[in-house]
Copies of this chain bind each other. A is one copy, B any other.
Amino acid sequence: RRREMAKSTQLIDNEVFRAYATYTAIVLLKMMLMSLVTAYYRLTKKAFVNPEDTASLGKGDSAKKYLRTDADVERVRRSHLNDLENIVPFVGIGLLYALSGPELSTALLHFRIFTGARILHTFAYLIPLPQPGRGLSWAVGYAVTFSMAYKVLKTVLLL
């Protein structure tokens, strides 16, 4: 019995699943990086939202002036939220896709394009690049996720 249990965790030995795990870890780490970028801009631009965060910068009114929005901080935050909106569907649908038995080469194509598109999207947002740079990189990631969802629904549909 113990053996069977151990075996089921060997999902991680399946090559498509390994590819999924690799790219999912990469895009989630990339998304996590946005927290550090936000913190960096908040500290360097001195733009905070919580009063307790400005306590070390002075007392009373001298600290209050750092409770403000900054265009660069807001830009990073929008980029972070866009990651959440797009990487969550990739992680969820990508897992189902990886389990739906795609060819390794097809799966790698999906995972690589999505990951590349999201990295481009972050640069396009933060630099910022002129449109349609950001729009296109967003659309490519969106289309990849949609393509995986189509394969999942075609394979497993049970309503």
Contacts of A19 in B (CB 8 A): 158-159
What residues of B have a CB within 8 angstroms of the CB of A84 in the complex?
A: 84-85, 88
Residue of B22, B78, B101 touching A157 (CB-CB under 8 A): B22
Contact of A28 among B15, B55, B92 (CB under 8 A): B92
A131–B43 Cα distance when bound, in Å, is 14
Shortest Cβ gap from A33 to chain B (Å): 10
Which of the residues B15, B52, B93, B156 comes within 8 Å of A128, measured between beta carbons?
A: B52
Interface of A is mostly: helix
Per-position contact with B for A48-83: 1 when CB-CB < 8 Å, else 0? 011011011000000000000000000100101000
Q: B residues within 8 A CB of A9?
A: 11, 14, 16-17, 98-99, 101
Quick one: CB contact mask for A1-20 with B, threshold 8 Å, 1 for yes? Answer: 00011111111111111110
